A and B are shown apart, each in its own frame.
Chain A
Amino acid sequence: NAGVTQTPKFQVLKTGQSMTLQCAQDMNHEYMSWYRQDPGMGLRLIHYSVGAGITDQGEVPNGYNVSRSTTEDFPLRLLSAAPSQTSVYFCASKNAGGYNEQFFGPGTRLTVL
């Protein structure tokens, strides 16, 4: 099992550019989520999904779109990147149910100039 994979590892964008951060998991987990990690701010939930075709907003959803067409994939789209979106982005997945462990990807470091 590869677990949770993310691509790319690093990305530099110019303000106004768009891009998609990819996330995939091979554990057949129903639940997937995206977080951003910023110094002094910890991990903040951007969007999450409890299954294919179902997504919901987290704590900081503005500027980001998601979709969940398959169980395995949960891409995060930045439609018009802003410097405030410079961050490390983590994707995570888990089985449904409260106490199941959430597995994290290795992260994508994004810089917006």
Chain B
Amino acid sequence: AQRVTQPEKLLSVFKGAPVELKCNYSYSGSPELFWYVQYSRQRLQLLLRHISRESIKGFTADLNKGETSFHLKKPFAQEEDSAMYYCALIVGNRDDKIIFGKGTRLHILP
């Protein structure tokens, strides 16, 4: 079955502490994964994609095929990181069907 699992509904982290948002996937094909973010009163927007191996706003995510994971990490949390984070997976033959996890709300404590 195709599935994206984000086990934490809410994650509270102190400012300056490391952040790790967990994402696990289930997919029989070669996974293509993304992290999307929704800040308060803003639209959902792309944060990063695994193929780019990029760091956006200090966040990174590494695909671990052995553990079927794509965890999002940041070494030092900032208050502006408070948001809803969604892990997403491309499924389907034409690579255009995208499913999301249930999301994790990240709350940065001052």
Chain A residues at the B interface, C-beta cutoff of 8 Å? 30-31, 33, 35, 40-45, 48, 50, 56, 58-59, 90, 92, 94, 96-99, 101-102, 104-107
Contact = CB atoms under 8 A, between A and B. Distances in A.
Contact of B100 (A42, A50, A101, A105): A42
Given A43-B103, A99-B49, A99-B51, A31 B96 contact: yes
B57 interface: no
Contacts of B98: 33, 45, 102
Contact of A90 (B6, B44, B46): B44
A48 B51 contact: no
B46 A96 contact: no
Contacts of A43: 44, 86, 100, 103
Given A42-B101, A43-B86, A43-B103, A50 B94 contact: yes
Interface of B: 6, 9, 32, 36, 43-46, 49, 51-52, 86, 88, 90, 94-103
A44 B9 CA distance: 16
A44 B43 CA distance: 16
A43 B98 CA distance: 10
A30 B43 CA distance: 20
B97 A42 contact: no
Contact of A102 (B46, B101, B102, B103): B46
